[in-house]
Amino acid sequence: MKTYLVTGGAGFIGANFVKYMLKTYSDIRIVVLDALTYAGNLATIEADIDNGRCIFVKGDICDRDLVERLFAEYDFNYVVNFAAESHVDRSIENPQLFLVTNILGTQNILDAARKVWVTGRDDKGYPTWRDDVRFHQVSTDEVYGSLGKTGYFTETTPLDPRSPYSASKTSADLFVKAYNETYKMPVTITRCSNNYGPYHFPEKLIPLIIKNILEGKSLPVYGDGSNVRDWLYVEDHCKAIDMVVNGGRIGEVYNVGGHNERRNIQIVKTIIKTIRRLMTENPAYRKHLKKRETGVDGQLSVEWINDGLITFVKDRLGHDRRYAIDPAKITNELGWKPDTDFEIGIVKTVRWYLDNQPWVEQIVEGDYVNYYERMYVGR
């Protein structure tokens, strides 16, 4: 039985990866290490934790003693590193936090793996490694910077981060590459476009817009909403990571994109239309509306759910104009391609949030309220 260490496994993409792997394989064991900060929620994976196939450990990837103890106890075959401070706005507020977690934390895990995975030295003095191990770094297309109106990021695009967040992820990627070059450590890296889907923390665009509509609040959109992102359904991303971990070439980077470029304002308008349509087709969903306007039919009105809710706010500092990924390498080498069209995925996502409001209400308590006020109100 292969054992995975999944760091950040209670966060959005990490939790979806845990669920995907447990559903796909019956002969693996997963140890989730998560500090349960603002973006980690134990309730997301609580049903998956059985202390057999899935074990949860609360802790920080910067805690050297803890990480080394886990490697000694569980004899990991694979590390999949999702753990990171991940929101650009938060990185503008507190850059140093991103350096500590995203760079020093990644290096700490790399070092712990090196200590137990090395089996000796070759005739040139390089470490030799177990043949059943790999370190996989989950990265982002933001390390490439910003695109113009045309073109795509490829794996050979120069790294050009524009925010403290993307700079910290770039540095982490380079440390992973350096461990491969210096120590011959078996590593792989994936760089993905914007993910969406279930269990997304409500400070990100899609779940934020859903939440605000249900609460009858304005919908904040940075600048004029023309920034373009390539959207990838989260389960398609999980499938790609699995394929790279188990079949990708050691030392290689693989870009994972969804072929779903959309301007931010398009995303917001699509969500508005989707929520209104779903609530028209299924009036039971209207119970989640905090705005209690009664329509002519005697039911809660959805007429006010329209583009008039959109409010443009001061643009983010250093806001990249466009991201778009060319995933040809992972498609050609491993046969991966996204299975979920955006038009289908966005409906699945909105429906999931409507069906899982208790999860949303639990996660937005406390720090999130203060954070939202700082980021959007009055800008």
Q: Is 141 labeled as catalytic in the residue annotation?
A: yes
Q: Which of 34, 48, 85, 142 is catalytic?
A: 142
Cα angle 13, 16, 17 (rounded to 5 degrees) comes to 85
Q: Tell me if residue 142 is catalytic.
A: yes
Question: Which residue among 141, 173, 230, 236 is the active-site one?
Answer: 141
Which alpha helices (DSSP H) does the chain contain, by range?
Answer: 12-24, 42-45, 64-74, 88-93, 95-98, 106-117, 164-183, 205-214, 234-247, 264-281, 328-334, 342-355, 357-363, 367-375
Residues 289, 258: Cα–Cα separation, whole Å: 31
- Which amino acid would we find at residue 67? V
Do residues 360 and 202 touch, judged by C-beta distance below 8 A? yes
Q: Is 46 among the catalytic positions?
A: no
CB 102 within 8 A of CB 172: yes
Radius of gyration of the chain (CA): 21
Q: Which of 78, 144, 165, 222 is catalytic?
A: 165
Contact indicator for 5, 31 with CB cutoff of 8 Å: yes
How far apart are alpha carbons 356 and 377 in whole angstroms? 26
Q: Annotated active-site positions, please? A: 141-142, 165
